[in-house]
Structure formats: C-alpha cells, structure tokens
Structure 1
Amino acid sequence: MKRLLIPLAAVGLSAAALTFPANAEPAWATDALAAKPSDAYGNAAFWLDANGAALRKATQYFWDAKDVQKLVTTQAKAPDGKPGMTQAPDAVKATGKVKNVNLPKTIGKVFFIDRAGKYRWCSATSIQSKHRNLIATAGHCVYENGKDVFQKWVFVPGYYQGKAPWGVYAGAYAFTHYDLDTYDDYDGDYAFVAVHNGFNLAGSKQVEFNEFKAWAGDKWTKPREIDAKEFAKCQLNLGHCWSEGEDKPADLVGPDYPGAVLEKVEVKEDAYKDAATGRGQGFKFGEPVVEQVTKAEHDDYKGLGKPGTDALGNYTITHFYTQKWVKPGTSRKYFTADYFIGLAKDTGPLGDAVGGQGFAWNQPMGQTTMVFGYPSAPHPDGDRPFSGLTPKYCYGKTGTKTIQANTFKVETHQVLKCSMTPGADGGPWLIKYNNAKRTGYVNGVTSVFYDQDGNDRIDYISSAYFDGETAAVYDKANYAETKKIVGPNGELLQ
C-alpha cells in the first residue's frame, strides 16, 4: 500500500501552536480504511450481521504477554514546543481522590481482521474534531506491524456483548506518526481515525424484484417451493422461477436391493390369502387391519376391503395389504424467489452520539491521569482477572521521567502503575478528568505492558508522549471529512 507523507498545512492548528525543533519537520502518514460508503457499509454490516456474531467471536489483539520486559527510566521529556489543548469539551477541573468513577460515554472497542484472518479488537475513545468524527487509539490497533492497515476496521462506542447501542462507525481514514507507519517505532504508537456516520441494522423488508435489483445495500433471496401450475403461470408472466430435478417413477426391486424402500399395497382378500408369508415382493404385509366405520360408510363402501360387523355389532371394513419393494422415484420440484432488502438506521456523526474527549500535548509529566480500556488477556502467570466485556480503569500520577524498553523501540514513553492487561491497548489516558461530566483531555493511549517486579504480573503500562508531532498528526486528522452511509429510508448512499 502506498503511503502518503503530508507537509504541514496552513489549515487547522496554527503553525505557531505547533513548535518543532529546528532540525525536525512534522511527519505523519495517512491511509484509507474504507473511504467509499459502499465499502464502509460492508465493513460495518459484517460485524452487525447475525445479531453481532462476529463481534462476539473477536478476541483482544496483543503480542505475547510472556515477552513483557522491564522498563528503564531515562530522563524528563523535553517538550518540543508550548503545551496545548483543544477547546475544552466542558469546564473541566482536575479531580481529587476518586472513589466512584463514572465511565466515559466516549469509550468503546475497535474491531478488525488481522492478516491471519482472526477477528480482533482493541480499546479506543471518541475525541473532539471539526467534523465530530474522530477517534484516538493505539497505532498498533490500526497498522499491522507498522505496515498495512487492518481489514474491516470499525469503532463501536459503548460495546457490550455483541451490542452496539450507538451504532457501528466504519473507519474511513487513519492518521499516524510516520515513524510508526514506516519503522514500527512505538514512540509514535498512536492513531487518529476519521469514521463515517454510524448506523445500526433495522430489520428487513420483502420487496418486488425491480426494487431488489436497484437496492444498493444488503439484500438476499429466499427460495419458496411452488406447484407445477404456479410454475407454469410464473413462466407465462416471465417471472423469476426455476425447477430442479426430474419426474422419474419408482422401479420394482427385490428387498435386498441397496436403498430399497418397503411400501404397502392394498389388495382384495383372495389376493392376500394367496400371497406368501415372509419378506419379498408381493408377500403379505402384516395382519389384516380392521377399521371401525359408520353404517353409511359401510353401506356405501366400494373399495378393496371387506365390509362387515364385529362381535359387538359395530360396522367395520377389513383391509388387506401386500409388500411392495421399490427403488424410489424422483419428482421435479418448482421454486420461486422471495426478495428481501436489509434496512439500516443512520445514527449520525460519532460526536453527536457520544460526544468527544479533549486533546492535549506537550503537557508536564507527573499529572493525575485516568486510563480506561477493556482488558482481557491473562497475566504472564496465566491468571485472567478481566473478561474484556466491560471497561475498567487505572488512576494515578504518571512518572516524572520518560522510560525506555527494548520492546518495540520504546525510548520516550510516559508510564503509569496499572495492572490492566492487553485488550486495554488503545484506551485513552485522560488528564483533568471531570468525573461528573465524564470528560477530560486525551494525553496518551495505552501502548505497552510491563512486568517491572518480575512476578509474572503486569504492573505498569506506557503510552507514547504526546508532543508537537502528535498534535500535527491530530491536526491533519481533525480536518478529515467523512460521509453519511445510509439514507432516510435505510438505503445505502452512493
């Protein structure tokens, strides 16, 4: 896939707000996920189909937890420019000690298919943007090994057990740091993804063929069996019908013929008496069957049976049967098609549905931070305390110095003491979190997990430090325009 390296634009955050070192230029890369509405619809419908079966099948995306390494403290991160924040989502103040945490409405899961064809997910959050269509997550939850983007990439805010309460938002364009995209360098392990309007499936509708043919969204047929007369009428009217098989009579065979089927044939009493007893063509089929009938049925009977009365004076007809062994014949079957279209309901831009967190860069380290995510993977010792079904959080102050680790070329990450496991990848690091309003500023996303004390339990997580280059990536994503996928009647828009 060709990568596009984009120079600093005059739009968006002002150049003055993005101060870069004299020897550096802002560098970011962008890739298309599903820019066309038809592709986006297909991606979202894939996850929604069969009542969210694919969503429930997905597992967290993570590297081998047994390979976690210890981190090394380096030095305080020198900002590459002035601190900055987007316009506040609300009046947000730093929180004190947190007892009961209100989970943000903005968080959810991103779902995608990796190169091995496995259904995967990570954590993410809606973030403020010009078009109310942006999410923030880890770069490795969008780019596989820093190369091509994952397939069928969608965001589901508020995800829970296969449900998408605010719809599914298909990714349109991904933006990340050039070093992650090119070198798989986790100092740039973040991504901002512009998503199309969300939608939910809203049932189906049976339609005539012409409407079915013109429908651009999800559609399917259901065959329905009809009789020969309906088939002839359908053909006469140039309808959509077809036949399968052929009419072939049954053949008489011996009882030992492979696949032979035993049938009974009613005969007169004399023929029954003359028939042999045992197993064979024309042999007796069990004992005579006595049927109790009314006087009128008895008097009017013209069949092969023998009318009579029993010891109690009840009117009866006695039936006599012989064996018939056949190789079953076949019958031609006739079908027509019923046509159905899948309807969808637009849930609007992401920001209108769930809001968006603020964005901050070049912030002082050692700040009180709330980290949210959907942890799921076991600790290195095999214990699995998290199910991944519901979001969890960590709370505390980040380290005052950046850290490095041999894993993934990490040299300047910020770190937080936290026991969340993979699955929380891509979850937001929020500073100045307002517990009442459930909003703050995204100042990082979960990237790497560590076992610092060597007891086979994850005890620290880290995030790329959000600096001026991060702001440049965000600035480009901030202006990405996306589209509405479905129209007012549930149709797929072109």
Structure 2
Amino acid sequence: MKRLLVPLTAASLSAAALTLPANAAPDWVQDPLAPKAAEAYSNAYFWLDANGAALKKATQYNVDAKDVQKLVSTQAKTPDGKPGSASPTGTTPPVAKSTAVNLPRSIGKVFFLDSAGNYRWCSATSVQSRNRNLIATAGHCVYERGKDVFAKWVFVPGYYQGKAPFGVYAGAYAFTSYDLDTYDDYDGDFAFVAVHNGFALPNDKKVSFKEFQAWRGDKWVKPVEISPAEYAKCVLTLGHCWSEGADTPADKVGPDFPGAVLEKVEASEKEYTDAKTGKGNGFKLGEPETVPVTLPEYTAYKGPGKKTIDKSGNYLITHYYTQKWVKPGLSRKYYMAEYVIGIAKDLGRLGDAVGGQGVAWNQPMGQNVTAFGYPSAPHPDGDKAFTGVTPKWCSGKTGTKTYQVNTFKVETHQVLKCSMTPGADGAPWLMKYDNNKRTGYVNGVTSMFHDQDGNGRIDFISSAYFDGETADVYNKAQYAATKSIVGPNGEMMQ
C-alpha cells in the first residue's frame, strides 16, 4: 500500500478494536449489504427460486477481462509488522492420504447483480472468524470500481454444477481496505464479508386465510380456476373468490385476419352447390359427407342436410358445409384463492456447516500455495479451457518479489504461475494446505490475470500481498454479528 499503515501483530488480533493515532484514518471500510432479515431472505430467495435458475444464468465477473495486464517486477516485499495468522477450523474428517488434491468444502461462489443488472459471480471461501460467519474474496467482487457494493450479494459454498448443497448465505456486511474503497487501488483488492445463517428453499404448505395472515415468512396466493356453479356457491358463503374478463361473442372476420379461426357451417344442398370454391366466408368447405343413421336419428334430424333412404332401406343424411372465419370470443373465468406459505429451513452458521480456512499475513515471499477457484472465461486467444461450473486448482510457489501493474494502481502484488482465467476472481490462495484435512491459511485472493509471454494464454495470476492492513480489515470483520433470518418454525425473522 502507498499509505502509511498501522502495524498489526498477531497478538493484537485478540483485541476487539485497534488503537489508532488521533489523526489517522482507519485501514478498513465497512458497508452494509443486507443487515435486515427481510432483505437477506429476499436476496437468498432470488437466487434459489425456480430451482436455482438465477444461479445458472449468472456469468463470471472480471473488471479487466478485455485487457490482460503485464506484470513489472519490483523488489521483495518488506512486511509492515510481524508475521501472524488465525488457525483454520474444519468440518470434514481427515481422509486417507491421496496424491490427488482434495477440494475443501469451504470454497464456493459469490453471486450478485452488477450496476447494469447482469447476474454475476466470483470465487470465494469461508474463513475462520469469531462468529463463524465470514468469507474472503476479491474486493472487486464486492465493490464495483471500488465504490458502491453490489446488489443481492450471497455466498454459495460447495457450488457444483448449478447446485447449492449447503444452501445460500446472504451477505450482511462487507469490509475492505480504505485504499480500494477510496482510490480503487488494487493493492487492497480483497474483502471479507460477514454473512447471515444459511437458508434452504422453502417447502410449500397450503393453509387457511387466518394462518396466511399471521405468517411472517414467504407467502403467496395461488389462483385456482373453478366453475360458474362453484363460484356462485363461493360468493354465497363469503369465500375468497373472484372473476376475470367477460363473455363476448365471436366476431365474423376475413380469412386473412390475424388469429382468425375457421368454423364449419352446415348448409343446404343448394347453398353448397351455389357456393364458390376457395378460401373465404360462405365458400365450400370440403366434400359432402353422407353418414348412415338410425331411424330415430333420421326422424329427429331437422338440419339443412339432405335425408335419403337407399335401396337397402338404410337411413342416410348428407351434410354440406361452408366456411365461416371468426375471431374467437372470450369467456369469463372464475377463480378461488388458495393460500400458500413457504416454510424455510435455517442451516446455521457458515463455519459450522463447512468450516473456515485460516488467514495469514506478513508472511515471507516464495510460499507454497494452492489456489482454488471457478475459472470460466476464455484465454486471450479465445480458447475456452474452463466451464466455471466446477472448481479447479493450481499450486506452486509465489514469486520472491512483488510486482507492479501499470493500471489499477498496483505496486506490490504477489504472483503465482497458474493458467486459471477470470471467474477465478476471489479464489483463495491457501498456504500450508493440508490435503487430508482440506484446510490451510488464506494468504491471498486472485485479483488479476496475466499473459507474460504474450502467447495469448493466461500464465500468471496475482493477488494483493496480505500485510498488516489485511489483518486490520480481517480483525474488524470477524467481530461483525449476524443472525438467523429464519425462525424455528420456518418463519422469517425480524
């Protein structure tokens, strides 16, 4: 960072607040996403509704996707304080040792709407915090151009092929660096977000009108079509019913009228013989139809068709038809209200459901890290190597020097050789990753993507260097209190 930072040691993280000089600005910025239960419920439901249709509609978000930035080597980063860390917590039992990389349950996607109303997503992970409710991601996945926070912001841990196996966690408060928020400075491109308890899609339940009125959760009226007789009975008993539209007759129109419907009109033999052939009102329609009938049917028939008896004594009626083109009329429809409530399910705190990775800061350069994310965008040469529906990973040592980027005010990014493309924005870089416990320490989050050799392929990703300022922001965020947005009976909390 280019501002004077307040040093933060590992020991000082236990304090609820940091003591700053009287004239010093804080290193952190806090913004509300959806602190109130009703708004958080609405945000989560938006993404879960219609079997997660909005989740599947979203596309990756990346602010510099059209311009791959070059890295410029500077020098080794000088920490602004002592190395420090917060230990991870896990919910996945250790597994037998494996040469394959085991994916942590903590990783997932964050979903949001950008200022243009587009459905977007980035990568993220749950991290350890005092209230077990915190995630880490890139700052630009929370703040648009370092300014306003995104709308309908939620976290879906364990996201896999359009599914939310652990539910949706609505963002309550966002925390990022002062420099990103104020100057759009990507040396501070990270964010910690406190989320409410998880939420599962409600089950529908039909209830009485009285129960419907008293319900504080999600509810809706389902119209059920009924017959005119049922409607009349409903009105007499003061039930909740209504009608729509009016009975209107069909209008006679020409055959070329939009939406015109052909009806057949029975005619006499003379009317049929005199009618023209072709398409139009009163024109012949098909050939005459002679059908055998019983004596009672023969006697009862009073239509314009021709009645005959053949030599064998069979009774026959010959029908003649002409055309009639009409615009169909309308019928009044009758409805009765069916009252439905949505009984949601509280899934508890994020950290209790999927665990939380540790967080580390002021670590030496050249650390072994494993980055997990959901890359999706094509490489600069157009090759689309990733789909974004499943998580990917890459591992290696971070660079021994920090790098500048000529845009986004970057002076001290750390780098990792990796071919993941945008969509992996916000992907955690886990230091000391334990493949059996599936835990490590977040020591960076993917911020930018780079093609250093100019071959049209992403070959490096970069992250803000996690220093004392990062620890400052993390410390502030982990004390954020959130809540359950669903009550014990499935109702929405106030």
TM-score class, shorter-chain normalisation, is 0.7 to 0.9
Query: Distance in 1 between the 2:167 and 2:112 partners?
Result: 16
Secondary structure of the residue aligned to 2:274 is: coil
What's the CA shift for 1:254? 8.7
Secondary structure of the residue aligned to 1:345 is: strand
The equivalent residue for 1:138 is: 138
Identity of aligned residues (%): 70
Query: Distance in 2 between the 1:381 and 1:343 partners?
Result: 49
What's the CA shift for 1:290? 4.5
Quick one: which amino acid aligns to residue 198 of structure 2?
Answer: G
The equivalent residue for 1:318 is: 317
1:95-174 matches, within 5 Å, as 99-174=99-174
Give yes or no for contact 2:113–2:152 (8 Å, CA) kept in 1.
yes
The equivalent residue for 2:94 is: none
Query: Distance in 1 between the 2:24 and 2:403 partners?
Result: 22
What's the CA shift for 1:217? 3.4
Secondary structure of the residue aligned to 2:408 is: helix
The equivalent residue for 1:3 is: none
The counterpart of 1:277, out of the listed 274, 277, 288, is 274
Give yes or no for contact 1:417–1:461 (8 Å, CA) kept in 2.
yes
Query: Distance in 1 between the 2:124 and 2:62 partners?
Result: 15
Answering whether residue 30 of structure 2 is matched by residue 30 of structure 1, we say yes
What's the CA shift for 1:369? 0.8
Higher mean C-alpha displacement, 431-440 vs 224-233: 224-233
Is the alpha carbon distance of 1:263 and 1:103 closer, same or farther for their aligned partners in structure 2, counting shifts above 3 Å? Answer: closer
The equivalent residue for 1:242 is: 242
1:439-478 matches, within 5 Å, as 439-478=439-478
Query: Distance in 2 between the 1:159 and 1:177 partners?
Result: 27
Is the alpha carbon distance of 1:323 and 1:197 closer, same or farther for their aligned partners in structure 2, counting shifts above 3 Å? Answer: same
Give yes or no for contact 1:123–1:426 (8 Å, CA) kept in 2.
yes
Quick one: which amino acid aligns to residue 72 of structure 1?
Answer: V
Secondary structure of the residue aligned to 2:420 is: coil
1:311-349 CA distance string (max 9 Å, x none) = 666x64526456585855543332233333333222211
Secondary structure of the residue aligned to 1:447 is: strand
Give yes or no for contact 1:26–1:469 (8 Å, CA) kept in 2.
no
1:410-462 CA distance string (max 9 Å, x none) = 11222111111111111111111100010011111111222222222221111
Query: Distance in 2 between the 1:263 and 1:69 partners?
Result: 68
Quick one: which amino acid aligns to residue 89 of structure 1?
Answer: T
Query: Distance in 1 between the 2:70 and 2:191 partners?
Result: 25
What's the CA shift for 1:17? 11
Query: Distance in 2 between the 1:462 and 1:124 partners?
Result: 15
Quick one: which amino acid aligns to residue 302 of structure 1?
Answer: A
The equivalent residue for 1:397 is: 397
Answering whether residue 416 of structure 2 is matched by residue 416 of structure 1, we say yes
Quick one: which amino acid aligns to residue 317 of structure 2?
Answer: T
1:72-100 CA distance string (max 9 Å, x none) = 22222222222111134379xxxxx9941
Query: Distance in 2 between the 1:180 and 1:84 partners?
Result: 23
Structure 2: give runs of 5+ residues left out of the alignment.
1-7, 92-96
Is the alpha carbon distance of 1:288 and 1:173 closer, same or farther for their aligned partners in structure 2, counting shifts above 3 Å? Answer: same
Query: Distance in 2 between the 1:275 and 1:341 partners?
Result: 60
What's the CA shift for 1:293? 5.1
What's the CA shift for 1:239? 2.6
What's the CA shift for 1:13? 2.1
Is the alpha carbon distance of 1:311 and 1:197 closer, same or farther for their aligned partners in structure 2, counting shifts above 3 Å? Answer: farther
Query: Distance in 1 between the 2:213 and 2:22 partners?
Result: 60
The equivalent residue for 1:62 is: 62
What TM-score results when the alignment is normalised by the length of structure 2? 0.85
Query: Distance in 1 between the 2:226 and 2:364 partners?
Result: 75
The equivalent residue for 1:45 is: 45
Is the alpha carbon distance of 1:193 and 1:262 closer, same or farther for their aligned partners in structure 2, counting shifts above 3 Å? Answer: closer
1:302-381 matches, within 5 Å, as 302-304=300-302, 316=315, 318=317, 320=319, 323=322, 325=324, 329-381=329-381
What TM-score results when the alignment is normalised by the length of structure 1? 0.85
What's the CA shift for 1:166? 0.5
Query: Distance in 1 between the 2:70 and 2:213 partners?
Result: 60
Secondary structure of the residue aligned to 1:408 is: coil
Quick one: which amino acid aligns to residue 209 of structure 1?
Answer: F
Give yes or no for contact 1:132–1:349 (8 Å, CA) kept in 2.
yes
Secondary structure of the residue aligned to 2:351 is: helix
